[in-house]
């Protein structure tokens, strides 16, 4: 029947839209209940009104430590971009070398196993000691936390390249550069992009915590400054903004991964 067919055609739309809406609605309901029980906790409506005020002028500047949320997000993203870029420039080639040569794998694996479990914030004092400044120290923390997923995933990808491919390369007497560009890179790309996705998520987590400790301009410092002012609505707004920026970064990398691979990388 026409009506039933129309409902069946709309079913995928409802299944994709309604569950997230119900989830958000449940979160807002719990939030409202907490606000009713605890009068010091801002309600969703109060927080929304504050958010409108904040985003009506997100790029104001009234001094070095009094800037709009837009400038703070921009400062954090710049630090993440530099630290993450340096980690990719070092970590991806290193992963290729570790996966390609057993000697290098045996040399670096103990170092990676020792340093990988260390909290990135534990490296922040080392950065402050070496660089004598909070800004490069925060970038150093991003670098050290971002490099391990890229090294490990890239190395695993290289090690899982079928041996038949390498045998063909030997028969054809291909150079090492051609082996990397023609055989290893296409096969390793899905693993490498997985490492990049893991690294960017970790980097965004770490920069918020690092900026709380180092101060200056950044979304982490903004959260801490609002806490010192006991401005809880602004803290909640910052939490939502941090989550949304992290989600956007993740989705950008998922889109890049889908463009370069045939596998389902969205999960």
pLDDT tens-digit map of 82-104: 999 999 999 999 998 898 888 98
In the predicted model, is pLDDT for residue 225 greater than 80?
Answer: yes
**Angle CA 94–140–211, to nearest 5:** 145
Q: Which residue has the tokens 């950065």?
A: 127
Residues 6+ apart with CB under 8 A from 262: none
Distance CA 67, CA 61 (A): 5
Radius of gyration from C-alpha coordinates of the chain: 23
CB 192 within 8 A of CB 95: yes
In the predicted model, is pLDDT for residue 4 greater than 70?
Answer: no
**The pLDDT of residue 261:** 62
In the predicted model, is pLDDT for residue 264 greater than 60?
Answer: no
DSSP state, 34? H
pLDDT tens-digit map of 51-68: 999 899 888 888 777 788
């Amino acid at each position: 029947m026409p009506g039933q067919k129309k409902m069946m055609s709309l079913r995928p739309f409802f299944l994709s839209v309604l569950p997230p809406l119900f989830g958000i609605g449940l979160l807002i309901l719990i939030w409202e209940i907490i606000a009713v029980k605890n009068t010091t906790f801002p309600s969703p409506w109060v927080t929304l009104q504050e958010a409108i005020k904040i985003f009506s002028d997100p790029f104001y500047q009234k001094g070095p430590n009094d800037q709009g949320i837009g400038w703070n997000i921009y400062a954090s993203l710049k630090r993440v971009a530099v630290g993450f870029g340096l980690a990719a420039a070092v970590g991806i080639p290193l992963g290729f070398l570790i996966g390609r040569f057993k000697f290098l794998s045996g040399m670096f694996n103990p170092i990676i196993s020792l340093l990988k479990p260390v909290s990135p914030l534990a490296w922040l004092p080392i950065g402050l000691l070496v660089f004598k400044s909070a800004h490069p120290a925060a970038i150093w923390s991003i670098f050290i936390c971002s490099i391990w997923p890229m090294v490990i995933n890239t190395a695993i990808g290289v090690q899982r390249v079928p041996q038949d491919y390498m045998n063909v390369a030997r028969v054809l007497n291909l150079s090492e550069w051609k082996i990397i560009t023609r055989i290893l890179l296409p096969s390793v790309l899905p693993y490498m992009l997985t490492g990049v996705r893991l690294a960017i998520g970790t980097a965004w987590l770490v920069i918020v915590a690092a900026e709380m400790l180092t101060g200056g301009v950044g979304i982490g410092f903004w959260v801490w400054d609002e806490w010192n002012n006991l401005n809880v609505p602004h803290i909640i707004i910052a939490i939502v903004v941090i989550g949304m920026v992290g989600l956007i970064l993740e989705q950008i990398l998922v889109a890049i991964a889908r463009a370069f691979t045939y596998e389902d990388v969205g999960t």
